[in-house]
A and B are shown apart, each in its own frame.
Chain A
Amino acid sequence: DAGVIQSPRHEVTEMGQEVTLRCKPISGHNSLFWYRQTMMRGLELLIYFNNNVPIDDSGMPEDRFSAKMPNASFSTLKIQPSEPRDSAVYFCASSITGGREKLFFGSGTQLSVL
């Protein structure tokens, strides 16, 4: 099993640019989560999907952030426009249907907004 696959691994962009992070969950996992890790706040849940439907997006910081899951094997997290304070590691994780406990994380995307 390939595990959760995230791309890109690193993204460096300038303030104001659009950033799109991508995630492929583990096949058969129907729950998908986006987390953000920063030194100040640790690991924060941004949004999670169950069967491609957003269930809880209360962690999305503001309207500049949006996430989609068009099918069971793909999700995107978009930031438009990006700001320096968005710099963080963004993790995607998946789990079996309805499971919010034992998550399988991808390797993350290190985002730097200059």
Chain B
Amino acid sequence: DQQVKQNSPSLSVQEGRISILNCDYTNSMFDYFLWYKKYPAEGPTFLISISSIKDKNEDGRFTVFLNKSAKHLSLHIVPSQPGDSAVYFCAAMVRGGADGLTFGKGTHLIIQP
């Protein structure tokens, strides 16, 4: 049973437009959420995170929104650039818990010129 779900395996967006990547989770104990970005032949790299006490966190072109009641988070990239083409993994954890990060399967974002 997947606790972190990214239901869109891929997403194509035109350069300059907004990219919205979605993530749903089932474990209500999760209190910290992260997005990782992965280029081909490289390992994932940390992008942005949000604590459950917030509903928004912004870092430059990247903003993560958290809706706890819906158990849903999203990553917005504005404006989208060609270098944003990558696989994006959503991850969640219980801070102070015994388990590590639980990852989704990833969404492949393709930025079209």
Contact = CB atoms under 8 A, between A and B. Distances in A.
B100 A106 contact: no
Contact of B43 (A41, A100, A108): A108
A42 B106 contact: yes
Given A93-B43, A102-B49, A103-B46, A42 B104 contact: yes
A43 B44 contact: yes
Interface residues of A, number: 21
Interface in B95-113: 95, 98-106
Could you tell me the dominant secondary structure of chain B's interface residues? loop
Given A45-B100, A45-B101, A56-B98, A101 B43 contact: no
A102 B32 CA distance: 11
Contacts of B34: 101-102
B101 A100 contact: yes
Interface of B: 32, 34, 41-46, 49, 89, 93, 95, 98-106
Given A42-B105, A43-B103, A91-B44, 17 more contacts: A35-B103, A42-B89, A42-B103, A42-B104, A42-B106, A48-B100, A93-B43, A100-B100, A100-B101, A101-B95, A102-B34, A102-B49, A103-B101, A104-B46, A105-B45, A106-B43, A108-B43
